[in-house]
Homo-oligomer: A and B are copies of this chain.
């Protein structure tokens, strides 16, 4: 049977024969106390199986050690990577991460932000710069340290850590153009919800247009990105049979779908068709032909955000850049 641990600070104080504040000082190793007192308190705490109540501690002392993190998805490795960087740095500083997953739904994001704010977190991280007006208002008025991650294309509220998605799109287009590809199609996932993917393709088309070109075809699967969606998207494009020499995918997962479809159908990469992705996932590096893609510093973004969240940093924008990986598919 589970016996609730009801021991409180007062219980420990009584057991040790000292005052509550003394116990508090000893347990937090803050302020002064004699060695002898310290031992008695620690012994009593251990004996009673005392577990401090952070809820009470936080209420009494103002600042909480919680950091809220609202991310859009856990369906691929991208945000887990960000979370990994953040949680590691946070834990090292004695903070705890409270997470919520919005599934790329702005209304849910808004509700989650409100919900997180109710815990009076030391800082709140959100993905991207686009939020509902109400969410923006909540964030701006909260007085909490706000960190917007993974995007730098647009105004930020407090601190932004990431890179320019628009520039990722531009660089990707420049690469394909430099390799001589001219008849390029786009295969993407739901852009209405993934605003960063929308910025990438916008930057991509900008460069194409500047070169007097345009996308030959474009297929947007109305679901979240996935390997299957990439496969289905390329299948539809191929069915429409435009003359094509390259496909730009909204991310690596989508591109993998395309890659293996080509492999299965005997379409040679990049001879018959070049493939370009985004994210720089590990698996792309070990493919028979390494995927041409853009690597983003996801773990580092999380870690940097965590550091900034716990320091008393001024509002700022941190550009961690990205790396175009030439690979062998485009």
Query: Which positions in A face B, CB cutoff 8 Å?
Result: 2-6, 49, 51-56, 58-59, 64, 66, 74-77, 79-81, 83-84, 87-88, 91, 96-101, 103, 112, 114-120, 138, 140-144, 146, 158, 226-228, 231, 256-257, 260-261, 263-264, 282-283, 285-288
Closest to A144 in B: B2
15 A-B pairs besides A2-B142, A74-B87, A96-B100 with CB distance below 8 A are A2-B143, A5-B141, A49-B141, A54-B118, A75-B84, A77-B77, A77-B80, A87-B99, A87-B100, A96-B119, A227-B283, A227-B285, A231-B286, A256-B283, A260-B286
Closest to A6 in B: B143
Question: Which 6 A-B residue pairings sit nearest by Cβ, starting from the closest?
Answer: A4-B143, A54-B118, A74-B84, A80-B80, A74-B80, A260-B286
Interchain nearest-CB distance for A2 vs B (Å): 5
Please state if B143 and A115 are interface contacts (CB–CB under 8 Å): no
Number of copies: 2
The residues of B that contact A5 with a CB separation of less than 8 Å are 117, 141-143
**What is the bound-complex CA distance between A66 and B101, given in angstroms?**
15
**What is the bound-complex CA distance between A103 and B119, given in angstroms?**
26
Please state if B100 and A97 are interface contacts (CB–CB under 8 Å): yes
